[in-house]
Amino acid sequence: MLEVANLEVVYNDVILVLSGISLKVEDGEIVALLGGNGAGKTTTVRAITGLLDVHEGDITKGKIEFKGESIEKMRPSAIVKSGITQVMEGRRIFAEMSVDDNLRTGAYTNKDKASVLAAFDRVMELFPVLKDRRKSTAGYLSGGEQQMLAMGRALMASPQLLILDEPSLGLAPMLVQQIRDIIVGINEQGISVLLIEQNAHMALSIANRGYIMETGKMVMDGAAQKLLGDEDVQEFYLGLHGEEGERKSFRDVKHYKRRKRWLS
């Protein structure tokens, strides 16, 4: 469904941030994209959704295909229309507007009233808390409610692929659980999900497959179960063994592993 191949992204003509990453999301999958701060996860999302321009970023190499069609030169509005929406990092709800109006902007590309109403009903079913807050100013919602509003807004366009950029950021563990369950619910409606997270545990627990990024490169990928069981992943992303004092870069380990593979 979504295929990113060898993607290279440069900011301000000089800052190379993605150096040839590849990833795939198949129909109906939940795919986790993991990585620490500054790895290039958000940049990847911007590249897919056509928002690099706003940040003076350019795709200098590689391609992005959605449903077999090249989208790397498309405008953000065309990409939304083709079926990809996103929940941006930091939620980015329209804080001064009502909950309803936030949801309406999500349906901006859809002029068919009946299908907008249907999408609205689905959103209300997924996020019952929003039902009582429809007229409230979005900025007054709690953090968890704002995240739900952001997700609801992204669903109003009835996407086939939903990209979530760190939805668990800044939320209490209870809420993270809830968001996780909702993502599963969304996926069960047949929507493919690209889930970007630093919270590897949460993401891998519901994903089919996962990718791990570090400073603009993919350093590992595979089935979510396999990643969850991987010692290095456990050490660096799940915090099972890691001791604060001696956190090596994951890349060092990877390098070591690569060498091992060459030898065998």
Ligand X SMILES: Nc1ncnc2c1ncn2[C@@H]1O[C@H](COP(=O)(O)OP(=O)(O)O)[C@@H](O)[C@H]1O
Is 57 a residue that touches another protein (CB under 8 A)?
no
Is 14 a residue that touches ligand X (CB under 6 A)?
no
Is 89 a residue that touches Mg ion (CB under 5 A)?
yes
Is 42 a residue that touches ligand X (CB under 6 A)?
yes
Nearer to Mg ion, 99 or 219 (CB): 219
SS3 of residue 179 by DSSP: helix
Is 42 a residue that touches Mg ion (CB under 5 A)?
yes
For the CB of residue 100, give the shortest distance to ligand X in the complex, in Å. Answer: 30
Partner from ligand X, Mg ion, another protein, none contacting 80, C-beta within 5 to 8 A by type:
another protein
Is 13 a residue that touches ligand X (CB under 6 A)?
no
Find all residues with CB under 8 Å of 85, minimum gap 6, and list them. 106, 154, 155, 157, 159, 161, 162, 163
The secondary structure element, H or E, covering residue 29 is none
The one-character DSSP state at 165 is E
Contact flags string 17-56 toward another protein, x per CB under 8 A:
--------------------------------xxx--x-x
Is 8 a residue that touches Mg ion (CB under 5 A)?
no
Q: Return the residue of 40, 106, 152, 167 that touches another protein, per CB under 8 A.
A: 106
Beta strands, E only, the chain? 2-11, 15-25, 30-35, 57-66, 69-70, 84-87, 161-165, 192-197, 209-214, 217-223
For the CB of residue 188, give the shortest distance to another protein in the complex, in Å. Answer: 24
Pair of tokens at residue 47:
């590249």
CB 153 within 8 A of CB 93: yes
The C-alpha torsion from 50 through 92 and 161 to 39, rounded to 10°, is 70
Residues that bind ligand X (CB under 6 A): 11-12, 15, 17, 35, 37-43, 55
